[in-house]
Amino acid sequence: MLRASNILRNDPGRRRQMVRRPLGLVLLLLSVGLLLTGCPKKPDVGQAGPTAVGPQAGVTTPRPTTPAAPAPKAPETLVGRPAAPREAAVAPARKPDAGGESPLKDIFFDFDRAIIRADQQTELAADVAWLKANAAARAVVEGHCDERGTAEYNLGLGERRAKAVRDALMAAGIEAGRIRTVSYGKERPFLLGHDESAWRVNRRAHFVKE
């Protein structure tokens, strides 16, 4: 030991070399430690979702929603349906016949038809009841048409309509001698006009007292 210390004291270069060796060893060990440890990995920062990596993995960020447009207001509905309006009474366009107006109700027909409609059965039943209650009464059934078609054709159509009503009365028990028929075709309209509002009124069998 004394010899080694004497050598180091007498040889400054060797002394400096021995001091440098431990320092280099320390630096080498620190470098190896840094390489093994590596740099710390930064946490992923981004939108969380099913494929996200990091603390927010598996957390779904809700997307902003656009407010829904208000539903259209439902139209107001009527409480109960209004009944279909009945045909308004129309004043005749001609003067009453000499025999006078009858309490019997008119029977209306469809275009170019001489068949009594189902909706006219109530009026027909009322006529039968009145004739039975007034056994001495006699009546003329006039057949009328609207303005469409020739005069000759409408005379025949008016006659068929008048006879259809007379036959219905007879089938209900009214004597044939109490009912007479006549056709005026389109020559004596009850309502002047050139559309359906007038035509539907003129297609009728009209009663006149004898």
CA neighbor of 181 nearest in space, from 210, 142, 152: 142
**pTM assigned to the model:** 0.53
Condensed to tens digits (0 to 9), the pLDDT of residues 134-153 reads 999 999 999 999 999 999 99
Rounded to an integer, what distance in angstroms lies between the CA atom of residue 6 and that of residue 111? 149
Cβ neighbours of 200 (radius 10 Å): 18
Higher pLDDT, 60 or 165: 165
pLDDT band at 85 (very low <50, low <70, confident <90, very high): very low
Dihedral sign for Cα atoms in the order 183, 187, 192, 195: positive
Q: Which CATH class is domain 107-209?
A: alpha beta
Residue 60 Cα to chain centre, angstroms = 43
Identity at 82, one-letter amino acid code? P
Give the per-residue pLDDT at 29: 73
Confidence band, pLDDT 50/70/90 cuts, at residue 72: low
Residue 107, judged by CB atoms within 10 A of its CB (0-12, 13-18, 19+), counts as buried
